[in-house]
Structure 1
Amino acid sequence: MANKILNKILVCLSIVCFIFSLKTQAQESTSNTELTVLLQQLETIHSVKFSYVDEYIRGIRVNVQATKNLEAVIEKIEAKTQLHFEKLSKRYYAISLNKTLDICATVLDNFKQNTVNGATVEVLSSGLGTVTDENGYFSLKSVPKDAVLRITFVGFKNLIIAASELTGQQPCKILLLAQYYQQLEEVVVYEFLTKGLIKQTDGSIEMNNEEFGILPGLIEPDVLQTVQALPGIKSIDETVSDINIRGGSNDQNLILWEGIKMYQSGHFFGLISAFNPYLTDNVTLIKNGTSSQYGDGVSGIIDMRTKDDIANRFLGGAGFNLIGGDAYAHIPLKENVAVQFSARRSITDLVNTPTYKNFFTRVFNENEVAQDGNFFFYDITGKLLYDINEEHKWRFSFININNLLDYSEREMNSEETTQSTLDQTNLSSGTNLKSDWSENFASEINAYYTRYNLEAQNIGMNAQQVLLQHNEVEESSVKLKTIYKPTTQLNWLNGYQFTETGISNRTNVSQPPFQSNVRNVVRSHAVFSEIDYETENQKLFLRGGLRFNLLQNPDTFEEFILEPRLSINYALTRELKVQALGEFKSQATNQILDLEQNFLGIEKRRWIVSDGTTLPITKSKQGSLGLNYDSENFFVGAEAFYKEVDGISTSTQGFQNQDQFNGEIGKYEVKGMEFLINQKTDIYSVWASYTYNINDYNFTDVVPSKFPNNLDIKHTLTFAGTYTLNAFKFSLGLNYHTGRPFTQPDSDEPVDTTFFPNRINYNEPNSSRLPEYLRADASAIYNFEIKENLKATAGVSVLNFTDRKNTINTYYQLNGQSEIETISTTSLGLTPNLSFRIRF
């Protein structure tokens, strides 16, 4: 009985499978029908007649079913073939071949199938053409059906394809470009440390934020924090507003955002970068061998650029961490018009997070005081992108940065209270027009206006003394440059730049009464020219340039300065290359650092312009020689350098000893070596860097005339690594450097009572050293997808996870009883941070 039941079940299953097989075959046959058969079905269903030439449709098969909606069926046939249906009457249709086609495709590389953005697509023997967008996509309408396309992109072989192979049906066809290999192609760039950091042929470092990986202690691609991972670049006070490039002070760096010079770079007294990284597309760091198109910045250049291509869809994102939140977006309004914006605001005035507490303690860590503060910051950026046509592109950008603080402290012993307020803003706008006049000639016009304003008030001695300080910078600039490329190996750059900088400083003290109001202006006319040459096999890269500067202060001086620039890169072998860099530079703006009276910490610095007497034009000359070895995933680089910066003043160097107020003029010399070794794969990257510096002042009117620079750090060592496990990224790093120099009071006679008010007797300048600095950082990021086109990132970081107490500065002052007090600044303690972000 059981066997009979089983047999019946098997028979039923067989019948079901047979019927399903017939149905599937029927579906397959209808889903891939010969066009002649489909036309016959349509004629029967709709009582129509189709007139055509047999050879036009012979062999054509389409995935279209005959339905009651005749027009919809015809539309599908036209989309999937090169045929055109013309309705002659209610019953008769004529079928002909299209003379033109609508085509589309997506261009990828054939190695990792990454999108190829900006590839040139030409329809040969016609005026049609376009470029691929950021997704590698392109489309063209009304292309002759017998046309041939040529797709070209630097570093890839040309692709020739018939237009008939790229019908505009969706999904569009994917085309793979083959990389163009030749001997020594590897010498062009090397991506090192983490994804998105690239060493360029001219010696500069390029950072791509969109592709940025992870670094120790960083869960977001903070530009000014990231550059400190590179050899020769550190901040000895742990800030982004005091970056020291090869022993130079921060005001000797040229920081550009969209070609606009920025006079403010940090939030929260420099502990956080003032530039939102999520629309920042590209950052270029230059330590030496600067292009002649750049002025200022005798120490280094950080050039930030936001996204400059119009996307074909809406892009954006938002996120928060334990300091603030932000949002950004790229919104295409038309095919050739788009807007970008970003906004960020702190939550420090709303929520007292552990990260904020540690930052607050780091800034205001004086002893025996009760502190209370209310602080917040924000920054806003915007950009309008307008492609007038394929040859002319216009951009307009603006940025607003703001810091606000109310702070009070009360000494526990004397009950004396001090109240301070700070309002620090930077408002800038700029415009840019790029024009390609021919394949060999292009031009660019850039103009900007920037205004920096600092308003600070200090009420001390229980409201008996009021100190007001005002510092304002207004700068306007226009730059024109042209680029001529007679061949693919030769590039000739020429240009002119005019800049006018006006800086005012106003001080008002109630007790003892004192008032000062000074405004100075400096104008700069610069003509520059340079030639880039690279051999066809990329074995030699050579760039030589000159910048002719005419600096004018209407009241005091006029000076002509010639600045040569040089960059040479020569490949000895496929893996080994030697690089020589050199430059002369100058600048006419500096910052006064009156730190002992700077009641609000490092950020209340005052910008001033050179007047030719009390502060001359600052000039530098620098040369370096390096040797780099890179083979697949292994990189070793060593570079020796010498830099001399003349025309500095003790008032701009942050002295906190007997030389603080004298204003002597001198120079400093830096001799050193940088070393980097990096092993990198797709999964991990491990590196170690070491920098050795000898950085000495030379002031003729100071005894002794030669002594260590305030930024003299003899030895700096970094050891770090990153590891990627699927969607997880981890990073761990250790930073070490020897202590900075400082000046101690004379142990035998510490106070000089022969002066009124009394003053401290010091030892020789910078004859003592702080203890060594050691900090370990860690970070982790997890990337995941919430749904299609909505991705998210969660991150956690810990700065100084060993909670080591590092002394980063020490100075001395006299109290009301003429007793010496020691003021020390301690580094950040164990500081956690969390972040969550979405992007779409």
Structure 2
Amino acid sequence: MSKKCVRSLVITVFVLSIGSICAQSNAKNKQLLREVLTTLETKFSINFTYLDQTIEGIMTVAPSNDLTLPETLTFLKAQTNLDFIVLDTMRVVISKRNNPFSDFITQKLEEVVITNFLTKGISKNSDGKINIKTEDFTILPGLIEPDILQSIQALPGIISIDERVSNINVRGGTHDQNLILWDGIKMYQSGHFFGLVSAFNPYLTEEVNVSKNGTSVKYGDGVSSVIDMRQSNSLDQDFEAGAGFNLINADAFVKLPLDEQTELQVSARRSVTDFILTPTYDQYVQRVFQDSDFSNPERTNAEVTSNNERFYFYDISTKFLYNITDQDQFRFNFLTINNSLTYDQQSNDIASPPLKNTLEQRNFAGGFEYLKYWNNKITTTAQVYYTSYDLMATNFDLINDQRLDQDNRVNDLGVKINATNHIDDHLKLHSGYQFSEVIISNSENINNPDIISLTTEVVRTHSIYGEAEFTSENRNTYARIGLRTNYVEKFSEFFTEPRLSVSHKLSNDFRLEILAEQKSQTTSQIIDLQNDFLGIENRRWMLSNDEDIPIIKSAQGAIGIHYNKDKLLISGEAFIKNVEGITSQSQGFQNQYQLVNAIGNYRVRGIDFLINKQFERFSTWLSYSYSKNDYTFEDLNEGNSFPNNIDVRHTARFASTYSINELELALGINWRSGRPFTPPSSDQNNSTAEIGYNIPNTERLSDYLRTDLSATYQLKLTNKMNASIGASVWNLFNRKNIINTYYTKNIDGDVIRIDNKSLGITPNISFRIRF
């Protein structure tokens, strides 16, 4: 070999070595595109929108800090081989190149008008709904995990009057007036631990959409709100799993690609309370069972002892994803939720054997969904689902040698068909058909004397709807207007429901919003007696019969204005809502109307106000709501209006979150004025067990005040395994808040006041791993 060839070979090897070293160096400097996008969203105050599978696993070198936004997007485009489409000053859509459906995907994405609403992972869309991305969600005061139904209570206008996720009140409505959907399936149970923990595992729930008004016509029911939870619907082609525990439950999830076209998602969660006693469990027990047959001697008898309690809950969800072709998708999913409580009751007479009281609550849901992309303009979806709910209790009365069995059962079968036509970049049309058959039965069985009661109601509803979405060419105006018509077979009645959502950009910083809707629903929850179902879950589902339980109808409207500039958000919204066809039994009266069944309505008028300022690592917000909520029952209070049982006039929240490196902190203060109650009259008839009352709801409980604290810390264990540690304290200063008051008479005929108290100081810790 000549010297020239040797010299050339040495130079070539040297150059290749340097190139290899540089490539290795660059590889080490690369990070996940998702992490880079998060940094850029904060830097440029924009929002990146994409499908998960589009960026999954893509690595890139972080762009230089001195680049402008266009220069940054050009750099990322070269690095990732993806398209970055700038829609406006706030939104950038990411899609794969040469994707025949990229136009459809771009049109399908909804416009986000406010990013990082309150905190990261929460945004507000142009149609008025609030969107929560659970994967991007950071931290809220008092929460160390993204508990879905606890998290939405940070939004203005949403509270729980008794701290339970099974009793969420949206702008003065009762919980049964919320339409809660899990992957499009209506859910009749929302809480574990009888309302203190959300029943939906958040780690496979991709997003939650909350609509308080102006909802799409594709949603029926829910005269108060819609809470729409969606699991991941895309094939990521990457294995992902995680597990964790806190002082109440342990859980695990896995996303398992089976091949290029199929994926299996599984999550499971179970309480640890029947194995380990923790301070959190002690507080939950005191809160849930304080006014039940299990722990209240006024309800049971001083001669009876309750012990040997065993409580647990679990939920399991599974989703199977199959992309038949690039244009055809098939999905199957199911969810099962269970709460179980047993305890022994024994007479103080030792010779008497103990008897076991039981309470079981469970919800099952399953469905098939088929999605078809006909072209880049037209798509159709078809879904068939079935959901069931069962609440069963066995209650022994040892003194009277009596056993009471109660059962509330719901079966719901539904079909949904929807078509979407993207006429052009500015107009989109939706149309569809929905059928539902709901069967609800209630039974009671008493053995001494033998009394059996069974009622079953069936309601079948057919619905058709149409809707148009318009976005102006300059994207300053968004409008959605639709009409839904429901036909209820049983009553041979039609209900026509118009819906409206308009958002107009007045300037670069101000946006005007107008929302309106009419709705109806045929299901509701009532309370026959406060100690039904052991007094723990005493609400039972019922169907409208067009007699003593009418169809509930609502009409509501709202107008709001939002200022958003330099990470400062100031938002104000005025609203009015009228709901008619409610029954007094659905309202939980514990006064002179407790056993009365009357039909009436309520009207709510109020405002929601929010100011939110964000810095690089710090976010703080203050929200305030004022509302006046009044009942009108022709047969109650001489037909005069009086305050609603959940009429909370003033609600305020102040919260701050702070992040530094891998540590996140959150502190929040919740305050609201007291709910109304009815005091007894000064003159009582001691010869009867009945209590004489004053005018209903003329007095109010003391103000509610709670301070919450939480912290999480992220750990990187290996290149593929991350972990997090969390700690929180609910009601940091252990304030004794009274959340409900009612009266009863003792054996001597004396009137006794009973106060239900909120959770005391409640600590919790968690540990999670993800790989």
- Normalised by the length of structure 2, the TM-score is 0.87
Question: How big is the shift at 1:767?
Answer: 1.6
Question: How big is the shift at 1:695?
Answer: 0.3
Deviations, residues 68-116 of structure 1 (Å, cap 9, x unaligned): xxxxxxxxxxxxxxxxxxxxxxxxxxxxxxxxxxxxx989988946897
2:566 is the counterpart of 1:583: no
Question: How big is the shift at 1:786?
Answer: 0.8
Q: 2:682 is matched with which residue?
A: 747
1:393 corresponds, among 329, 334, 344, to 329
Q: How does 1:732-811 map onto structure 2 within 5 Å?
A: 732-749=667-684, 751=686, 753=688, 758-811=689-742
Q: 2:479 is matched with which residue?
A: 542
Q: Distance in 1 between matches of 2:644 and 2:20?
A: 78
Contact 1:722 1:731 in 2 (8 A): yes
2:597 corresponds, among 663, 677, 680, to 663
Q: Distance in 2 between matches of 1:377 and 1:28?
A: 69
Q: Distance in 1 between matches of 2:378 and 2:486?
A: 25
The aligned length equals 710
2:613 is the counterpart of 1:691: no
Q: Secondary structure at the match of 1:264?
A: coil
Q: Secondary structure at the match of 2:437?
A: strand
Q: 1:407 is matched with which residue?
A: 343
Q: 1:174 is matched with which residue?
A: 80
Q: Distance in 1 between matches of 2:457 and 2:121?
A: 42
2:661 is the counterpart of 1:726: yes
Q: Secondary structure at the match of 1:188?
A: strand
Q: Secondary structure at the match of 2:176?
A: helix
Report the identity percentage: 44
2:262 is the counterpart of 1:331: no
Question: How big is the shift at 1:157?
Answer: 11
Q: 2:57 is matched with which residue?
A: 135
Judged with a 3 Å threshold, the aligned counterparts in structure 2 of structure 1 residues 113 and 719 are, in CA distance, closer, same or farther, namely closer
Deviations, residues 747-771 of structure 1 (Å, cap 9, x unaligned): 2125563xxxx31111111122111
1:286 corresponds, among 211, 222, 238, to 211
Question: How big is the shift at 1:746?
Answer: 1.4
Question: How big is the shift at 1:541?
Answer: 0.4
Q: 1:640 is matched with which residue?
A: 574
Q: How does 1:587-626 map onto structure 2 within 5 Å?
A: 587-594=521-528, 596-598=530-532, 600-626=534-560
Q: Distance in 1 between matches of 2:38 and 2:707?
A: 38
The code of the aligned residue for 2:405 comes to: L
Q: 1:317 is matched with which residue?
A: 242
Question: How big is the shift at 1:811?
Answer: 1.4
Q: 1:30 is matched with which residue?
A: 13
Q: 2:105 is matched with which residue?
A: none
2:501 corresponds, among 567, 591, 606, to 567
Q: Distance in 1 between matches of 2:493 and 2:248?
A: 46
Q: Secondary structure at the match of 2:728?
A: strand
Judged with a 3 Å threshold, the aligned counterparts in structure 2 of structure 1 residues 409 and 63 are, in CA distance, closer, same or farther, namely closer
Question: How big is the shift at 1:552?
Answer: 2.3
Deviates more, 1:588-597 or 1:221-230: 588-597
Q: 2:29 is matched with which residue?
A: none
Contact 1:355 1:832 in 2 (8 A): yes
Contact 1:339 1:382 in 2 (8 A): yes
Judged with a 3 Å threshold, the aligned counterparts in structure 2 of structure 1 residues 688 and 752 are, in CA distance, closer, same or farther, namely farther
Contact 2:670 2:707 in 1 (8 A): yes
Q: Secondary structure at the match of 1:220?
A: coil
What are the ranges of 5 or more consecutive residues in structure 2 without an aligned counterpart? 1-5, 22-31, 42-46, 61-68, 92-110
Deviations, residues 678-724 of structure 1 (Å, cap 9, x unaligned): 00123011000001110000000112421110110010010111000
Q: 2:95 is matched with which residue?
A: none
Q: How does 1:508-523 map onto structure 2 within 5 Å?
A: 508-511=445-448, 513-523=450-460
Contact 2:530 2:538 in 1 (8 A): no
Q: Distance in 1 between matches of 2:668 and 2:7?
A: 60
CA RMSD of aligned residues (A): 3.1
Contact 1:418 1:462 in 2 (8 A): no
Q: Distance in 2 between matches of 1:405 and 1:620?
A: 37
Q: 2:142 is matched with which residue?
A: 217
Deviations, residues 208-257 of structure 1 (Å, cap 9, x unaligned): 00000100000000000000001100001000000000000000000000
Q: Secondary structure at the match of 1:783?
A: strand
Question: How big is the shift at 1:593?
Answer: 2.0
Contact 1:469 1:508 in 2 (8 A): yes
Question: How big is the shift at 1:813?
Answer: 2.4
The code of the aligned residue for 2:57 comes to: N
The code of the aligned residue for 2:445 comes to: N
Contact 2:327 2:372 in 1 (8 A): yes
2:563 corresponds, among 626, 629, 651, to 629
Q: 1:148 is matched with which residue?
A: none
Q: 1:86 is matched with which residue?
A: none
Judged with a 3 Å threshold, the aligned counterparts in structure 2 of structure 1 residues 25 and 835 are, in CA distance, closer, same or farther, namely farther
Question: How big is the shift at 1:117?
Answer: 7.7
Judged with a 3 Å threshold, the aligned counterparts in structure 2 of structure 1 residues 466 and 181 are, in CA distance, closer, same or farther, namely closer
Q: Distance in 1 between matches of 2:58 and 2:423?
A: 28
What are the ranges of 5 or more consecutive residues in structure 1 without an aligned counterpart? 1-22, 35-60, 65-104, 121-130, 139-154, 167-172
2:376 corresponds, among 439, 461, 473, to 439
The code of the aligned residue for 1:660 comes to: Q
